[in-house]
Amino acid sequence: MSSTLLVQKLASVKLSKSEFDKIKWLKANNMEKSYKALTSLRKVLKAQENKNICRLCLKVGCKKIFSSQDFDIVAGIRQILHVQVEENDGKPQHICRACEVVLKSAVKLKETAEVSQWRLHQELEMVSRITPESDMKVTRHHGGYFIKRGAKIVREWACGKCRQTFVSQEAFTEHEALPTCRSDNKSFVCETCGLELKSMTRLKRHRLIHTGELQYSCSSCAYRARTKYALVVHSRSHSGERPLSCTHCAATFFNSSNLASHKRRHLPPAFHCELCERSFRFKEALQNHQATQHSSAKPHICNSCGKAFSTRKMICRHERRVHNRPRLRSGVTPTYLRQQQENLT
Write out pLDDT tens, residues 301-344. 888 898 888 888 888 888 888 888 766 555 456 666 666 666 66
Q: Residue 9: which H helix or E strand, with range?
A: helix 3-13
Q: How confident is the model at residue 62 (pLDDT cuts 50, 70, 90)?
A: confident
- Percent of the chain with pLDDT strictly greater than 70: 73
Residue range 218-233: mean pLDDT, rounded: 84
Does residue 187 surpass a pLDDT of 70?
no
Higher pLDDT, 96 or 145: 96
Residue 141 confidence (pLDDT): 47
**CA 28 to mean position of chain CA atoms:** 67
Residue range 13-30: mean pLDDT, rounded: 70
Quote the pTM value: 0.39
Residue range 31-44: mean pLDDT, rounded: 74
Per DSSP, 54 falls in state B
Query: What are the strands, taking DSSP E only, across the chain?
Result: 63-64, 94-95, 145-149, 152-158, 165-166, 188-189, 196-197, 216-217, 224-225, 244-245, 252-253, 271-272, 279-280, 300-301, 308-309
Does residue 49 surpass a pLDDT of 70?
no
Give the N- to C-terminal CA distance of the chain in Å, as an integer.
120
179-199 CB burial, b ≥16 within 10 A, e <16: eeeeeeeeeeeeeeeeeeeee
Residue 174 confidence (pLDDT): 78
Residue range 202-231: mean pLDDT, rounded: 82
Residue 146 confidence (pLDDT): 59
Higher pLDDT, 345 or 278: 278
Rounded to the nearest integer, the mean pLDDT of the chain is: 76
Does residue 88 surpass a pLDDT of 60?
yes
Nearest to 248 by CA among 144, 163, 175, 168: 163
Strand partners of residue 149: 152
Does residue 211 surpass a pLDDT of 70?
yes
Does residue 15 surpass a pLDDT of 60?
no
Per DSSP, 304 falls in state T
Residues 6+ apart with CB under 8 A from 258: 244
Give the separation between CA 282 and CA 246, rounded to whole angstroms. Answer: 18
Q: How confident is the model at residue 254 (pLDDT cuts 50, 70, 90)?
A: confident
Give the separation between CA 58 and CA 50, rounded to whole angstroms. Answer: 13
**Residue boundaries of the structural domains of the chain:** 298-345
Does residue 36 surpass a pLDDT of 80?
no
Residue 51 confidence (pLDDT): 61
Residue 48 confidence (pLDDT): 55
Higher pLDDT, 293 or 187: 293
Residue range 82-110: mean pLDDT, rounded: 86
Residue 332 confidence (pLDDT): 54
Residue 135 confidence (pLDDT): 45
Give the separation between CA 230 and CA 329, rounded to whole angstroms. Answer: 15
Q: Give the SS3 label for residue 298.
A: coil
Residue 200 confidence (pLDDT): 78
Does residue 75 surpass a pLDDT of 80?
yes
Q: Give the SS3 label for residue 60.
A: strand
Q: Residue 206: is it exposed, middle or buried by C-beta count within 10 angstroms (0-12/13-18/19+)?
A: middle
